[in-house]
Structure formats: C-alpha cells, structure tokens
Copies of this chain bind each other. A is one copy, B any other.
Amino acid sequence: MPVRSREATVRVKGQTRPVKERLLHVATRLFARHGFEGTSVQDIVDAAGVTKGAMYHYYDSKDDLLYEVYHQLLTMQISHLEEIAAGAGSPEQRLRAAAADVVKTSLDNLDDMIVFFRSLHLLPEDKQAQVRSERRYYHDRFRALVDEGVAAGTFRGDVPPDIVVHYFLSVVNQLGSWFHPDGSLSATQVGQLFTDLLIGGLRA
C-alpha cells in the first residue's frame, strides 16, 4: 500500500500532517490518557478534526489502530537492537548500549508504552499473537547479548539469561507508570542508571 499523492492534509489548528498519520497520533494520545475502552471512535475523530468515515477509510477497525501503535514502536526498537548487537565492542559494551537505548526510545514514546502494557490483551487473538511474536524476537535478540557476556566470563553464569531479560524488560515496560518527562531526571539519565543497576547485578 504505497503512499497516495492525493492524500489530503487538511489544516486543523495549524497541523498539516496527513489525516492517516494524525489519526494514529491522536489515538495513541487518547488511549494513553483514557484507556483503549475509555476512548470512543468518536473521540478520536473529533480530536483529529475529521469524521468516522475518514477513520474507517484508513483503518479497518478500532483494533487496527491499536495494533499500529505496537507495531511501529516494536519495529523501531528491533532495528535499533540489531544494529547495536551487530556493532563493535565487547559484549558488556553492546549490552550497555542496548539497555540504554531501549530505555531512551521507550521514554521518548511514553504514550505508546502506556498503551502497550495496558491494552495488549484487548487485541483480537491473531494480532495479539503477531505482537507477541515480535516481542519474543526482541527478547531473544537481547538474551543473545547476555549469553555472549556469560560465555566471555564477564557476566555471572548462575542466573538463567532468560530470567535476566525478563527482569530488565519488565523495568522498561513499566516506565510509563511512573516516569514524568518534567521530573528531575532526563530520559538519558534514567537509561544510564538502569543500565548500571543491570550490569552491576550481572557482574561475575
């Protein structure tokens, strides 16, 4: 489905983003504020300055909109992780980079994270399976970095790497429930601190 040239970019309150993109953006925001079920399709289209016809023209359903939230973020984070994992440096250096990155990108997309950990179960089973598959891929790729460090003797070998990954990704998935962008710590700082705590716990 290529981007259509005739796509309208109606001006609403100074915004010029195409309708499809704007719908996803305001939907994410509303889902994060009021929950998926607490947000009606009417709320979404009102906030985007269009009508239901527009939304059902671009998306198959309300669920479809939710799925896009997950898919976009996961796709980005996976590509980041692959680049880091394939890069140079010791296992510890690459794990540090990966950990700091996933915290940073999650905090940069806080609304997505909030929706993520709250509303996955509301997706129809097939789309839910798709998301879980992508998450599992991320998990496995992350674990491979831990495996490397264990093999190299840098990390302790008495904690199953799967458990380590669950441990750290849990921290990431909960970021939306306490972090405030205007707090005393920046996204990068939090990433650094959490990375330190992880690596410290992993040291042989």
Binding site for B on A (CB under 8 A): 34-35, 37-38, 117-118, 121-122, 156, 158-160, 163-164, 166-167, 169-171, 173-175, 177-178, 185, 190, 193-194, 196-203
Copies in the complex: 2
Inter-chain CA distance A200–B202, complex, in Å, is: 7
Q: In the complex, are the beta carbons of B201 and A185 less than 8 A apart?
A: no
Q: In the complex, are the beta carbons of A38 and B122 less than 8 A apart?
A: yes
Inter-chain CA distance A117–B178, complex, in Å, is: 12
Inter-chain CA distance A196–B201, complex, in Å, is: 7
Inter-chain CA distance A117–B35, complex, in Å, is: 13
Query: If A118-B118, A170-B171, A177-B173 touch, does A197 touch B159 (CB 8 Å cutoff)?
Result: yes
